[in-house]
Amino acid sequence: MSKKNYSRREFVKQNSLAGIGAAVAMGVGPALLTNYGNDSALPAILGGQKLRTKGWQEWPMWNPATDEELLLKVLRSGVWSRAGVVTEFEKQWAEISGAKRCLAVVNGTNALIAALVQLGIGGGDEVIVPPYTFIATIAAIIQTGAMPVFADVDPETFQIDHTKIEARITPRTKAIMPVHILGLPADMVKIMVIARKHNLLVVEDACQAWLAEIDHKKVGTFGNAGCFSFQNSKNIPIGEGGAIISDDEQFMDRCYSYHNYGNPYGTMIGEFGSETVIPGTKLRMTEYQAAIGLAQMKRLQEQTTVRNENAEYLKSKIKNIPGILPYRFNEKVTRAAFHLFPFRYKKEEFKGLSRGLFLKALSAEGIPCSGGYTPLNKMAFLKNTFKTKNYKLMYPAEMLDYKKYMENNQCPANDILCEEAVWFGQNMLLAGKADMDDIATAIDRIHSNAEKIKNQK
Ligand SMILES: Cc1ncc(COP(=O)(O)O)c(C=O)c1O
């Protein structure tokens, strides 16, 4: 892996590819790491024997024997546009997520856009959002015409820092968009208190957080709406796909209408019979996507449990290695999705070995890893957004002063987090305890040899 920060998707793709054609383990038994300092073997990056030649779980998973029956039925039926299978997918996703209603759409980005638009968010509004997220979160806000306002993150949880939200509220603020990033729940209890106090809407970006819970309540059900992604790298991979969940029946009727050209649906009745009711678009999921989704959904509960158990085990194994600071859960988190397993890497404790070289050394041992996100609040696309015709029409010139915007939207904790984060992919957490031991041993080995790796020619 080069020093470049890989995007999450590139990382997951690479990571999964590493599993393809994986050879059998080469007799390197898992070290029983009870504390750090046990493994000082020569690292692979310095010419030592690679710790692990066995691959990791391929992603996405597909088992023809158990997964294909419904898909083939759909393909052979010729009913490919939205019909009963999509409705069944929605029914099951609503049930499993603890919401009254679900609407399946083309992807997570458009789930977010639809939810924001149907909650009345648009030009001239501000939406408070964390900078530690995937670009789609911000893109969705911008597509509605609203202005993203960044609230810094808590580096220990990797989530939006709820104590930083109130200072970002202005008379234009319409909504908070917490992101359960990496599949770890944001502190929804405290965020909802702030939202109620200031009469703000809440759209949860749960695109990486299927079945994650706070006090046994699923994320996506705390705010006005929760949005999910089923893109190929996700814990429920469909290729592309998304969903909105909510208990608000009228809002869900509006979302349905919007995703189907604005045509009448439920309480959304036109004044003149069956004519289009609201400005809409077309975001319908296909029947074959839903058939793939239903096959994937069957595995989700069990896989989520395995990911949680392995994450806890891995955390216990690496937390005593100096310079390795694994994630901390927000209060009352009862389950995470673990789309990614995150920790912070403190190079001071690794003799100044850069994160880039640490990642390279870890990859060389057969442990795929990534440095994760770069700060979104500093990306140039915002400057170009402010130059668009619509933004010039919707905002006063001083709000489109990019320099001023940058000053107001500084997130120093996020800047550091983006430099220190290290991720492992969700598919790695589907392995066994001995595989988690491999990860811990590899980190330990790099720690013991940090000086030599740093000084390698
Ligand atoms: C946090 C977050 N928000 C939104 C999205 C957008 O989802 P999609 O790729 O399905 O459009 C993603 C998915 O990559 C995501 O990770």
Taking only the tens place, the pLDDT of each residue in 399-439 is 999 999 999 999 999 999 999 999 999 999 999 999 999 99
Helix 433-448 and helix 355-364: axis angle, to 10°?
A: 130
Query: Band of the pLDDT at 170, cuts 50, 70, 90?
Result: very high
Find out whether the beta carbon of 225 lies less than 6 Å from any atom of ligand 1.
no
Class in CATH terms, 66-293: alpha beta
How high is the pLDDT of residue 13?
56
- Across residues 278-290, what is the average pLDDT? 98
How high is the pLDDT of residue 271?
74
Amino acid at position 351, single letter: K
Answer whether residue 225 shows pLDDT above 70: yes
Answer whether residue 6 shows pLDDT above 60: no
CA distance 364 to 51: 9
How high is the pLDDT of residue 38?
73
Index of the ligand 1 atom closest to the CA of residue 112: 4
Answer whether residue 7 shows pLDDT above 90: no
DSSP 398-426: GGG-HHHHHHHT--HHHHHHHHHEEEEEG
Find out whether the beta carbon of 159 lies less than 6 Å from any atom of ligand 1.
no
| Residue limits of CATH 3.40.640.10 in the chain | 66-293
CB 175 within 8 A of CB 125: yes
Find out whether the beta carbon of 296 lies less than 6 Å from any atom of ligand 1.
no
Query: Band of the pLDDT at 30, cuts 50, 70, 90?
Result: very low
Q: Vertex 8, ends 447 and 292: CA angle to 5°?
A: 130
| Residue limits of CATH 3.90.1150.10 in the chain | 8-61+298-373+417-454
For residue 424, give the nearest of 1, 12, 5 by alpha carbon.
Answer: 12
Q: Which tokens hold the place of 12?
A: 């997951």
pTM: 0.93
Provide the Cα torsion 190, 196, 202, 206; round to 10°.
Answer: 30
- Across residues 197-219, what is the average pLDDT? 98
Percent of the chain with pLDDT over 70: 92
Q: Which tokens hold the place of 116?
A: 């924001």
By CB atoms closer than 10 A (0-12, 13-18, 19+), residue 232 is: middle
Find out whether the beta carbon of 409 lies less than 6 Å from any atom of ligand 1.
no
Query: Band of the pLDDT at 27, cuts 50, 70, 90?
Result: very low
- Across residues 259-285, what is the average pLDDT? 91
CA of 233 to the centre of ligand 1 (A): 10
CA of 109 to the centre of ligand 1 (A): 6
Closest Cα to atom 12 of ligand 1: 207
How high is the pLDDT of residue 426?
98
Residue 418, CA atoms < 13 Å, CB-side half-sphere: 23
Q: Which tokens hold the place of 4?
A: 């470049």
Helix 287-318 and helix 84-97: axis angle, to 10°?
A: 30
CA distance 210 to 225: 14
> Could you identify the residue written with the tokens 């994760």?
372
ω into 60 cis (within 30 of 0): yes
> Could you identify the residue written with the tokens 């069990």?
302
Q: Of the residues 8, 134, 153, 230, which should be mutated to test ligand 1's pocket, given the most ligand atoms within 8 Å of the CB?
A: 134
For residue 289, give the nearest of 208, 337, 231 by alpha carbon.
Answer: 231
Index of the ligand 1 atom closest to the CA of residue 109: 11
CA of 340 to the centre of ligand 1 (A): 14
- Across residues 248-253, what is the average pLDDT? 98
CA distance 339 to 353: 27
CATH of 8-61+298-373+417-454, one of 3.10.580.10, 3.30.460.80, 3.90.1150.10, 3.30.70.20: 3.90.1150.10
Query: Band of the pLDDT at 276, cuts 50, 70, 90?
Result: very high
Arithmetic mean of pLDDT over the chain: 93
CA distance 140 to 431: 34
Q: Of the residues 109, 138, 234, 236, which should be mutated to test ligand 1's pocket, given the most ligand atoms within 8 Å of the CB?
A: 109
How high is the pLDDT of residue 457?
73
How high is the pLDDT of residue 354?
98
Query: Band of the pLDDT at 40, cuts 50, 70, 90?
Result: confident
Find out whether the beta carbon of 244 lies less than 6 Å from any atom of ligand 1.
no
Q: Which tokens hold the place of 129?
A: 């959002």
Percent of the chain with pLDDT over 90: 89
CA of 140 to the centre of ligand 1 (A): 10
Answer whether residue 34 shows pLDDT above 70: no
Find out whether the beta carbon of 377 lies less than 6 Å from any atom of ligand 1.
no
